[in-house]
Amino acid sequence: MTPASPSNPSPRQPRSTDWRLFTILFPYARRNWQLLALALILLVPLALANSAQPIIIGQAVALAKNEPVMFFLEGQTLTSGARLLILLLMLTLAVQLALSGVQGYLIQKVGQRITANIRDDLFVHVTSLATRFFDRTPVGRLITRLTSDVDALGDVFSTGAIGVFSDLLTMLVLIVVMFSIQWQLALLLLALLLPVTGVIVYFQQQYRQSNYRAREELSALNSTLQENIVGINVVQLFRRESFNAELFRKINQRYVKEVDRTIFYDSAVSATLEWVALAAIGGVLWLGSLLVMGRVLDFGILTSFILFAQRLFDPLRQFAERFTAIQAGLTALERVSDILNEPIEIRDPELREGGNQESGIRENKFAVLTSHSPTRNLRPPIPSEIRFEHVWFGYKSDEFVLRDLDFTIRPGEKVALVGPTGAGKSSIIRLLCRLYEVTRGRILLDGEDIRNLPQAELRQRMAVILQDGFLFAGDVKSNIALGEPYSIDEIRSAAERTNVAQFIERLPQGYDTELRQRGTNLSGGEKQLLAFARAAIRNPGILVLDEATANLDVRTESLIQEALETLLEDRTAIIIAHRLSTIRSVDRILVLRQGTLVESGSHEELLEQNGLYASLYRLQMLES
Ligand SMILES: Nc1ncnc2c1ncn2[C@@H]1O[C@H](COP(=O)(O)OP(=O)(O)OP(=O)(O)O)[C@@H](O)[C@H]1O
């Protein structure tokens, strides 16, 4: 419960407080540049049409009042001039009507493509990260980033918030046009616009910080929810419902408080803009009327400026509406980039030397796509030599759980790892599979440092059967093949070789039986049985069994042990088992205590040594 618990809130402040964050989107924008360019080009005629309308209406007033008019109206009668102006106004309206829909559609399309690309890259990146990252990151937090943060980013496009660029362009065009017509009124409007922009920037920053904290609280909320759902049995069996509900309520309250704050800043921006827009029109009327009375200004131009005042603040007002989505998008972008920038700690050799993150993702995809060779399981397995060379390892940099391990497992040798709980047996396996990187020393596979092997190749050469075999939603056969194109005959033969075919055939639809997520419709032992078939079909040179038969009844275990005898032939094997009776026939037993190798030898040799193994063995004999 630690990371999400109320006693340990960790809402960080947003780090990048400016628009530089949008640079993260550049590579994605580049991939969709044609659509994006078209959407941006359409903004120009839209902005021009928008700023032409006040001028046209102003010219109509000037024409009616016989005031000086623009060149294209000179020499025109009132009727023909009015006709021309109506035609021009219709033209600008037609441009607006025709293009704004197309532009909105294009920008949303680009937005959806960009967010889909980001979601894909996030998934690939997250699945490439080292186990250490998952140790410290609660699942709920990750899910929030992959789903609701990416959605918030998508909202920037779907709510039309990206139109802020057209707002800025419109404002720029309006300012240039205004200054070219009448500089005093233009200066007045600009003088109002600048401080208002300052106020908006301030509220924007406040909103952003609150929004960031709100997203953090949402992550904590999701983490707690996820933890309670996964651990529902413990929650109910230990009657933690009301205790956990109270924890949840507290996080929920903190979330609501932060959301309230964002609502406050959002409303503050809208209110400020409403007031300033009214003040701007009042100011133009006041200064304009003075200028008209002093005969420095015509009515027509004053009319144009009243419309300009409205239109200048319109984009700002819209900006306020779009503001929420943009700020939420910026926060989301920051949180998404946190994950995208999370370094891939365990890399393949060529990637570690100068490869960038993007190519890392590509390489990973490549590794996945090329991992299956259809003829592979027809070949005899190639047993490997495993050498641990003065290996030190700690999950935390200052606490070693494995100390100076130095041993060699010969090709084809069967070795058992034995030791009390927490001695470091599973950690050895995790290092061998490179789920973690050694702190000091080297692990060699057939003389080659495993850090110099592509991870796909390393993991292809070994199969690991764990105590709790994880199952995916899907049928039995796809849970054995795990995405590789094995034929049903190959799947059947793997199941037969491991003596699990009988069990599978007893299932309602045999190999086609649908399994629920995490295999909740199978028992612990049944899940383990499938893990054996999953390992056998891969025909690995190294087989690792980590408490792999612990969940099986004695009869099933003896069936599996029988199958194991053939399965382990010509393979290097590492077996971890607490029940020492199951490992008596291995070639060698390595005994660990607190991360140190303390004994090594066959069952008989170790009994003779009368050390830790002998005492563990005698204790178990006594129990049985
Ligand atoms: N992800 C982790 N983060 C931090 N410490 C860990 C992690 N996994 C294991 N440890 C610690 O490392 C030590 C060795 O753990 P390991 O799982 O290798 O022991 P083990 O010998 O396999 O134990 P068991 O027989 O109970 O499975 C233990 O002290 C454990 O608390």
How far is Cα 466 from Cα 531, in angstroms, rounded to an integer?
A: 8
Q: Which pLDDT tens digit goes with each residue over 306-337?
A: 888 877 777 777 776 777 777 788 888 888 88
> Over the chain, what is the mean pLDDT?
83
Nearest CA to ligand 1 atom 2: 395
Percent of the chain with pLDDT over 70: 90
356 lines ligand 1 (CB under 6 A): no
Pocket test residue of 427, 546, 551 for ligand 1, highest count of atoms within 8 A of CB: 427
Q: Cα(537)–Cα(516) distance, rounded to whole angstroms?
A: 22
Task: Tell me what pLDDT residue 364 has.
Answer: 41
pLDDT at 373 over 60: no
| pLDDT over 70 (residue 404) | yes
pLDDT digits (tens, 9 = 90+) for 443-478: 999 999 999 999 888 988 899 988 777 888 888 998
Per residue in 554-578, pLDDT (tens digit) is 777 787 787 788 788 889 999 998 8
427 lines ligand 1 (CB under 6 A): yes
Task: Say what the pLDDT of residue 185 is.
Answer: 86
Q: Please report which confidence band the pLDDT of residue 160 belongs to, taking 50, 70 and 90 as the band edges.
A: low
Whether 527 is in the pocket of ligand 1, judged by its Cβ within 6 Å, is no
- What confidence score (pLDDT) does residue 368 get? 39
Minimum CA distance residue for ligand 1 atom 5: 395
Ligand 1, pocket-test mutation among 425, 467, 545, 598, most atoms within 8 A of CB: 425
* Ligand 1 pocket: which of 134, 397, 401 to mutate (most atoms within 8 A of CB): 401
Q: What is the pLDDT of residue 392?
A: 96
The two structure tokens encoding residue 190: 């600009």
**Cβ proximity of 310 and 170 under 8 Å:** no
The ipTM value here is 0.96
Q: Is 466 in the pocket of ligand 1 (CB under 6 A)?
A: no
Helices 43-64 and 299-340 sit at what angle, rounded to 10 degrees?
Answer: 170
**Per-residue tokens: 480:** 């054995």
Residues 378/493, Cβ–Cβ less than 8 Å:
no
User: Is the pLDDT confidence value at 4 over 60?
Assistant: no
Q: What is the pLDDT of residue 18?
A: 54
The stretch 151-170 carries a mean pLDDT of: 74
User: Per-residue pLDDT for 272 more than 70?
Assistant: yes
- Min mean pLDDT across 136-150, 154-168, 258-272, 589-603 is at 154-168
What distance separates the 2 farthest-apart alpha carbons in the chain? 121
Mean pLDDT for 338-351 is 82
Global model pTM greater than 0.95:
no
What are the angstrom distances between the C-alpha of 346 and each of 33, 196, 404, 514, 530?
33, 50, 22, 34, 29
Mean pLDDT of the 35-47 span: 86
| Complete domains list, the chain, with CATH | 2-340 (1.20.1560.10), 377-623 (3.40.50.300)
pLDDT on residue 66:
83
Q: With a cut of 60, say whether residue 365 has pLDDT above it.
A: no
Instruction: Tell the residue nearest (CA) to atom 1 of ligand 1.
Output: 135
pLDDT bracket for residue 19 (50, 70, 90): low
Edge-to-edge order in the sheet of strand 572-576: 462-465, 542-546, 572-576, 414-418, 588-593, 596-601
